[in-house]
Amino acid sequence: MSINYSEKIPNNVNLASDRKLQRALEHWQPHFLKWWEDQGPSDFAANDVYLRTAVGVDSQGWASYGHVKMPDYRWGIFLADQIPDRKIGFGDYYGQPVWQQVPGELRSQFRRIIVTQGDTEPASVEQQRLLGLTCPSLYDLRNLFQVNVEEGRHLWAMVYLLHCYFGRDGREEAEELLARHSGDSDNPRILGTFNEPISDWLSFFMFTYFTDRDGKFQLKSLAESGFDPLARTCRFMLTEEAHHMFVGETGIGRVIKRSLEVMKELSTDDPATIRSQGAIDLQTIQRYMNFWFTSSLDLFGSEVSSNAASSFATGIKGRPDEEKYDDHICSDATFEIETPDGTENVGMRNAMNEVMRDSYIQDCGIGLKRWNMLIKRAGFDIELYLPSSKFRRSIGSWVGLPVDPHGNLIDQATYDKKLSDWIPTESDRVFVTSLMQKVTAPGKMAGWIAPPDRGINNNAVDYEYVRLN
Ligand SMILES: [Fe+2]
Ligand SMILES: [Fe+2]
């Protein structure tokens, strides 16, 4: 079904046919807009921003572009098309028809998973609220706002499911999604990473590379769900999500490119010299990477988890790209997990978090390869790396242990002393923050970042992506 933009809430779910649901969502809509005004991007509400809006749900030509003021963005409910005769692809119900309603006995598990996913969407908008004030270019400012409005739409996606399939408690949860706030000491967001402030653009690029990619893997596993409306919702969200990771990958790449320009010009890899030229040294970039990568790893949960086993068994959540595996039942298979006491063989279903984390880590490696190629081509003998998944963990069997970024268990004193080499120090943050000066002349870039290779939607890099007057 095509998207209907003539209604108050654009949708492709024939919302008008269910008056009660339509009224409930129209009641939530002003609360969302109020939240956007209070907690969304500061200062730019009156400016025209070159944004894409969904006009369809197939992966080809699904979006249209145009200047729009953010508060006028048409947030709506868009589900990917239904796949006829779709069957559950994993777990105990393998091969059975997918569900169009939530099975009663799985109701609270589904609700928790949808609320947790939904909570991350507005959280990231809140985390990024002030970034526009220090944008390195109009191009980047536009990308930030594109990510923000789409995270807002992802909130709509989850709120639709809550309202449509979970009755009164769903409606209450939808209100709560607007009541919790990132970093709020009384009522914080559910997951740790989403309470970390993102106050500089290097962190923003790290977040969109590492943390949005966690989102990609969560959405991929929910796109496999036996609850078909959830699967369809997540499939369309993935289409939007790709741009967020593009922003992260190209953003980090451009910061590296700029550093390499300075390094080549002065034939040095000395961090202090590079910093004195207003660029960010690769060592600092590595420390930011270590921070956001490890923090994002925790989002997958403990290595061994009965929750994960139950979500797989009951058809709630599959593995990303479930079809690439041979065994979709996994009742006898085992998985080898490294613990501080040695290797352990655990049931595959219990290890699903780890399986997912492994494929996430592989996916993270793709950008690293490209960046290292840039460094190598520039003639420098430095290699960026992903730290070990045992380093700096806040959950699971490695929690709190003094493990170095290469995965070696070391003594606590050495760890404490060396930690400042591995994650950003206060002075790193002060330095990076000092570079964050707003640049808004079309086509101009801040000195710490190279221009992008091309603009958005075939426009030039110096296109007026945000009209400031
Ligand atoms: Fe999202
Ligand atoms: Fe995202």
> Tell me: the pLDDT tens digits for 82-124?
999 999 999 999 999 999 999 999 999 999 999 999 999 999 9
Q: Taking all residues of the chain, what is their mean pLDDT, rounded to a whole number?
A: 96
Intra-chain end-to-end CA distance of the chain, in Å: 39
Three-state DSSP class for residue 338? strand
DSSP track, 350-407: GGHHHHHHHHHHHHHHHHHHHHHHHHHHTT------PPPTTTT-SSSTTTT--B-TTS
Handedness of CA 128, 129, 133, 139 (dihedral sign): positive
Please give the distance, rounded to the nearest whole angstrom, from the Cα atom of residue 367 to the centre of ligand 1. 20
Helix (H, G, I), strand (E, B) or coil at 452: coil
Tokens of 333: 């298979």
Query: Which two structure tokens, joined as six digits, stand for 109?
Result: 């598990």
Is residue 356 within 8 Å of 300, Cβ to Cβ? yes
Could you tell me the distance, in angstroms and rounded to a whole number, from the CA of residue 151 to the centre of ligand 1? 4
What are the DSSP calls for 33-78, one per residue? HHHHHHHS-SS-TTSEEEEEEES-SSSSS-EEEEEEEGGG----B-
pLDDT tens-digit series, residues 226-282: 999 999 999 999 999 999 999 999 999 999 999 999 999 999 999 999 999 999 999
**Confidence grade of residue 3 (pLDDT, cut at 50, 70, 90):** confident
Residues 293-319: tens digit of each pLDDT: 999 999 999 999 999 999 999 999 999
Structure tokens at 383: 């290699």
Q: How far is the CA of 340 from the centre of ligand 2 (A)?
A: 34
- How far apart are the CA of 52 and the centre of ligand 1, in A? 15
Report CA(219)–ligand 2 centroid distance (Å).
Answer: 10
| Residues 315-344 pLDDT 10s | 999 999 999 999 999 999 999 999 999 999
pLDDT reported for residue 149: 98
**Which pLDDT value is given to residue 63?**
86
CA distance 314 to 113: 13
For residue 264, how far is its CA from the centre of ligand 2 (angstroms)? 34
The answer, yes or no, to whether residue 2 has pLDDT greater than 90, is no
pLDDT in tens, 204-220: 999 999 999 999 999 99
Q: Read off the pTM.
A: 0.97
Which token pair is 154?
């992802």
pLDDT at 59 exceeding the cut of 80? no
In single-letter form, the type of residue at position 210 comes to F
Q: Name the band, by pLDDT with cuts 50, 70 and 90, for residue 1.
A: low
Q: Using the 8-state DSSP alphabet, how is residue 14 labeled?
A: -
> What band does 58 get if pLDDT is binned at 50, 70 and 90?
confident
| Phi-psi sector, 396: left (phi>0), alpha (psi -120 to 50), beta | left
DSSP label at 406?
Answer: T
Distance 390 CA to ligand 1 centre (A): 27
CA–centroid distance, residue 214 to ligand 1 (Å)? 10
Helix (H, G, I), strand (E, B) or coil at 293: helix
| Ligand 2 centroid from CA 339, angstroms | 32
